[in-house]
Amino acid sequence: MLAPSVSDDSRNNVTDFVVKKGNGIKGLAESGLQSVPKQYIQPLEERMDMLSIMTHEFIPIIDMSEGDYLSVEKAICDAAEKWGFFQVINHGVPIDVLENVKEATNRFFGLPAEEKVKYTTKNSGTLNVRYGTSFVPEAESSLEWKDYLSLFYTSEQEASAFWPKECKEQALEYMKASELTIGRILDALMKGLNVTDIDAKKSSMLMGSKRINLNYYPKCPNPELTVGVGRHSDISTITVLLQDDIGGLYVRGIDGKGWIHVPPVSGSLVINVGDALQIISNGRYKSIEHRVVANRSKNRISVPIFINPKPKDMIGPLPEVLEKGELPIYRTVLYNEYAKHFFNKAHDGKKTINFALIDINNFM
Q: Which of 91, 146, 147, 234 is catalytic?
A: 234
- Three-point CA angle 208, 210, 347, nearest 5°: 115
More confident residue, 9 or 248: 248
Residue 28 falls within a domain, yes or no? no
Quick check: is 232 catalytic? Answer: yes
Instruction: Print the domain residue range for 334.
Output: 48-362
Q: Give me the half-sphere count of Cα atoms (radius 13 Å) on the Cβ side of residue 148.
A: 24
For residue 325, give Cα distances in angstroms to 177, 189, 280. Answer: 40, 20, 16
Residue 287 falls within a domain, yes or no? yes
Q: Which of 219, 232, 286, 347 is catalytic?
A: 232
CB contact at 8 A, 310 and 335: yes
Residue 32 falls within a domain, yes or no? no
d(CA 171, CA 148): 14
Residue 4 falls within a domain, yes or no? no
pTM (2 d.p.): 0.93
* Per-residue pLDDT at 215 exceeds 80: yes
Give the model's confidence band at 315: pLDDT under 50 very low, under 70 low, under 90 confident, else very high.
very high
CATH number for the domain including 60?
2.60.120.330
Q: Which of 116, 210, 286, 347 is catalytic?
A: 210
Single out the residue of 112, 146, 159 nearest to residue 228, CA to CA: 146
Quick check: is 290 catalytic? Answer: yes
Q: Which of 146, 286, 290, 347 is catalytic?
A: 290
**What secondary structure letter does DSSP report for 356?**
T
Quick check: is 245 catalytic? Answer: no
Residue 42 falls within a domain, yes or no? no
Phi, psi of 273 (to 5 degrees): -75, 135
Beta strands in the chain (DSSP E): 61-63, 85-89, 129-133, 147-153, 209-217, 229-232, 238-243, 249-252, 259-261, 269-273, 290-292, 300-308, 314-315, 333-334
* Per-residue pLDDT at 364 exceeds 50: no
DSSP SS3 for 266: coil
d(CA 304, CA 161): 22
d(CA 286, CA 83): 7
Structural domain tally of the chain?
Answer: 1
Residue 34 falls within a domain, yes or no? no
Average of pLDDT values for 106-113?
Answer: 97
Single out the residue of 1, 62, 55, 67 nearest to residue 28, CA to CA: 1
Give the model's confidence band at 177: pLDDT under 50 very low, under 70 low, under 90 confident, else very high.
very high
Give the model's confidence band at 257: pLDDT under 50 very low, under 70 low, under 90 confident, else very high.
confident
Quick check: is 197 catalytic? Answer: no
